[in-house]
Amino acid sequence: MGPELLTVLISTIKSRFASIVSKLRLWTSWNFIRTRIIGGIRDFFLGMLDVRPKHKDDYYTIFGWMVSKKLAYALIVMIGVLSIWYIGSSTKIFSAFGSSGGLRTYDYNSILLRFAKNRVRIKGKSGYIAYIGNVEKGYCTGQGELYSPDNVLLYNGNFEKNKYEGSGSQYYEDGVMHYMGNFHENIYEGSGRLYREDGSLEYDGQFVSGMKEGDGRLYDSGSNEIYEGAFSSDDIVYSELLGKNATEIKEKYLGKQILYESDENLDEGTAMLLKDIRVICQMVSDGGAADDSEKTQAVYVLSDKFRSGNASAGNLESLKKIFGTPEYEGNSNVIFPEVMAINTLNDGKYAFNGPVDTTSQENFSDDIFVNQYDNNYKVYVYTFRKGDLMYSFVSPDSGGNFEFYSITEAES
């Protein structure tokens, strides 16, 4: 009797609360919730789209125009929905499901780029992927890669506010390595390696403001080292060759050389052509030295350009801006090292008034005895003094353009 009463009691309780339980199950089911939400949104938009005013209070008066309040609300809501959709589609909410490996992609002028952080992709003006890497506060900052419209890698390394900064590698437009080393505000600064367009190593050393400056090494087209020494204004510090004998020069210069030795009748010393760096060292015996060895008295640089700092000079007027008034200017008969310089220049092109007539004897291909030369051959010379050094610029005439120049110590 007892169990039966308990069963009747439970059945009575269930019957009283069954409707409540059923309602709770209905209200907490996802289908019911989704239906109510969708229905509410539908009713909201239906009511909003019914923009026909029914009373004068349903209008805003703007500059004398009557604008429906419901229409204004509808426009604001539509703008908000579109904005939310645009932000969501442009950020990592959806980008992880794209084909870009989870990287967000921005146009270069996108406002949203200012709020992006970490690794992204940025499109260039024409729509190509110009940058892949880290960004911060709208700038390319951190590690990244820069590409050309043809999808060629132009730079790979560190950025700071859209500029090359720190270590990185720069490439030619065909993808060949151009420079690898340190940068500061897009230019070479610090240690680095410079390559030619054919991929051969040209220079390995220090840079300042984008130019070779400090200790470095030069290489030929086969990436063989040819010179080690100091550099300034993107060029060799040629004056450091002054006072050095042949052995000391060979320690610095490893390229091809040719010795032009003056006959004992001329007694004008030796002209050593350092072919790969286009320099001639005039070497004269130092009678006062213990070893009586020939040492470099003058360095002739076979270049029609002179660099000093950021300035580059190729004629008298530009030289005056660097040096001031010349110490000497006028015609001169050629001397032995100038003969070798003029004839070397004429091997590659027509220079001055053609080569200087010489009589010589070739013992070896790199050792030539010069018996005599035409010392009536005329050149025009501009000589300047800068500190303890004299610079003489040699021209065919007084027209102002020079073909090569020499450096000597002022006391000489």
Tokens for 182, please give them.
């340190």
d(CA 349, CA 403): 12
d(CA 147, CA 111): 22
Residue identified by tokens 């220049």 is: 345
Question: Which of 95-109, 187-201, 202-216, 281-295 comes out lowest in average pLDDT?
Answer: 95-109
d(CA 213, CA 190): 9
Q: 394 and 379 in contact (C-beta within 8 Å)?
A: yes
Tokens for 357, please give them.
């007539």
Q: Which amino acid is at 245?
A: N
d(CA 31, CA 25): 11
Length of the chain: 412
Predicted confidence (pLDDT) per residue in 85-132, tens digit: 666 555 544 443 344 557 899 999 999 999 998 999 999 999 999 999
pLDDT of residue 279: 97
pTM of the predicted model over 0.85: no
- More confident site: 101 or 160: 160
Q: What is the mean pLDDT of residues 354-358?
A: 94
Predicted confidence (pLDDT) per residue in 217-244, tens digit: 999 999 999 999 999 999 999 999 999 9
How do 270-274 and 378-386 pair as beta strands? unpaired
Q: What is the mean pLDDT of residues 68-84?
A: 72
